[in-house]
Amino acid sequence: MNAARSMMGFPSEAVADTQMAWAEALGADQGSTGGRILYIHMPFCRSRCTFCPFYYGSANDQERNEYVKVLANELSQWGQEFQSAPVNSIYFGGGTPSDMTPDEIALLLRTLHRHFKLSSDCEITLESRIDGLDDAKISAAVDNGVNRFSLGVQTFDTTLRRKLGRTSARKTVLETLSRLTSCNHASVTADIIYGLPGQTAAMLLNDLETMLNDTALSGFSFYRMHLHERLELARAIKADKMPELPDDETCFELFKLCEERMSAAGAKRISFKHFSFHPRERNLHNEISAWKVPCLPFGMNAGGRLGKFKFKQSGNFKDYKSMIESGCKPLASAGVFPADFPLAAKISGQLNCRMNLNLELCIPAAPRQIRERVRAELESALEQLEREGYFYAESYNSRLLTARGRFDCAKVASSLMTTAAKVYYQEKIIS
């Protein structure tokens, strides 16, 4: 397990008996009063976007309907196990959850309300694609408790959208956003990507101005485009059918452009990659998830964590369905997090949500016998990161991320978590 730590992926030691691991995690969770979130996965999309690493496949109406019924069954089986603490956030991700029919959306939401204890301010997010999000689906969602829509816009530039496999034009995007925001029931946020092939500062600024002037969005997520070899987009670039991605420094300029424009607009920063225009947009899911609280996975291919374990559900429908029918959690794999996971969670949560780091809030998560060494190693790493321009010192023991630090937040987090982990290895807390 001597692997680098990162905000998104943490190493774990595989467990042979996944059902035993789930039972142990459930047992340890009994009586827990801490926060928890649910992740519910809809694996299918009607078509593939060229930049997407999450595409799984498509399903016809009958296949999707059968999947939704089995998923509802899974939800109803496990709700009673998690009654000691309310669920703070439910996230329908994918894939394309908005491809469900109104009846399917209502079925899953009613099942959740019936079987789980939800906090009175539980955030329920439905990830949506622009195409096909009609009024009946919006009503089914908000009538049954959805209070946040996350729309995959990426860019408003019609030509660039089409090149990325997004079929709808700017006009349709604006019309869909307007229908959603005017229902006045939910936070409506968009994903915007920067560092797209051929994207200039003027094009990005146009996207930012569009959000500010032509929509009533509650906020947005600002993601950098990363290329993986297996993406269709990577193949198109290799074949000279698409321009190269902008380099690191150009992406940093685009990132700063967004920060400057949002600062001038008075947008509230709610994480290193999320902005809010309206108090309705809290992005509780990111706020809670960043601290690595239990995230209960439901649906094919869903990933999650509970206690010291991380879990991945089956991606094979036949296996998924038969495990649920036999009363098992439909798991494909489980792993045990190393002992430095609680400390890493404190580092990751602070950097992600507060964009700062106060070592005093992290150190108590380390075993007592190595705290001073962990403190010394992290302090030295922080001084180095400060010299390199990623942090500046503030009062009350806090160091704040600079613009460079916010841009490279994942890299900074990975370096600090890996530095701390080395102490655990050297002191033989983990082997």
Please identify, using beta-carbon distances, which residue of 48 and 185 lies nearer to ligand SF4. 48
Q: Which stretch binds ligand SF4 (CB under 6 A): 90-98, 168-176, 204-212, 292-300?
A: 90-98
Please identify, using beta-carbon distances, which residue of 152 and 330 lies nearer to ligand SF4. 152
CA-CA distance, 300 to 330, in Å (whole number)? 8
Among 35, 94, 197, 299, binds ligand SF4 (CB under 6 A): 94
Q: Which stretch binds ligand SF4 (CB under 6 A): 30-38, 45-53, 260-268, 373-381?
A: 45-53
Shortest spacing between CB 234 and ligand SF4, in angstroms: 15
How many residues bind ligand SF4 (CB under 6 A)? The answer is 11
Q: Which two tokens stand for residue 388?
A: 């390199």
Residue 96 in contact with ligand SF4, rule: CB under 6 A: yes
Among 48, 256, 269, 371, binds ligand SF4 (CB under 6 A): 48
Q: Report how far apart, in Å, the C-alpha atoms of 379 and of each of 125, 210, 362, 374 are.
A: 38, 43, 12, 8
Q: Are strands 309-313 and 303-306 parallel, antiparallel or unpaired?
A: antiparallel
Cβ atoms 261, 208 nearer than 8 A: yes
Shortest spacing between CB 46 and ligand SF4, in angstroms: 8
Q: Which stretch binds ligand SF4 (CB under 6 A): 41-49, 194-202, 292-300, 420-428?
A: 41-49
Please identify, using beta-carbon distances, which residue of 180 and 385 lies nearer to ligand SF4. 180
Among 7, 21, 49, 72, binds ligand SF4 (CB under 6 A): 49
Residue 45 in contact with ligand SF4, rule: CB under 6 A: yes
Please identify, using beta-carbon distances, which residue of 99 and 104 lies nearer to ligand SF4. 99
Closest residue to ligand SF4 using C-beta atoms: 52
Shortest spacing between CB 39 and ligand SF4, in angstroms: 14
Residue 40 in contact with ligand SF4, rule: CB under 6 A: no
**Interface residues for ligand SF4 in 342-361 (CB under 6 A)?**
none
**Interface residues for ligand SF4 in 123-182 (CB under 6 A)?**
129, 152
Residue 95 in contact with ligand SF4, rule: CB under 6 A: yes
Shortest spacing between CB 63 and ligand SF4, in angstroms: 16
Please identify, using beta-carbon distances, which residue of 95 and 297 lies nearer to ligand SF4. 95
Shortest spacing between CB 193 and ligand SF4, in angstroms: 10
Give the interface with ligand SF4 as residue ranges (CB under 6 A).
45, 48-49, 52, 54-55, 94-96, 129, 152
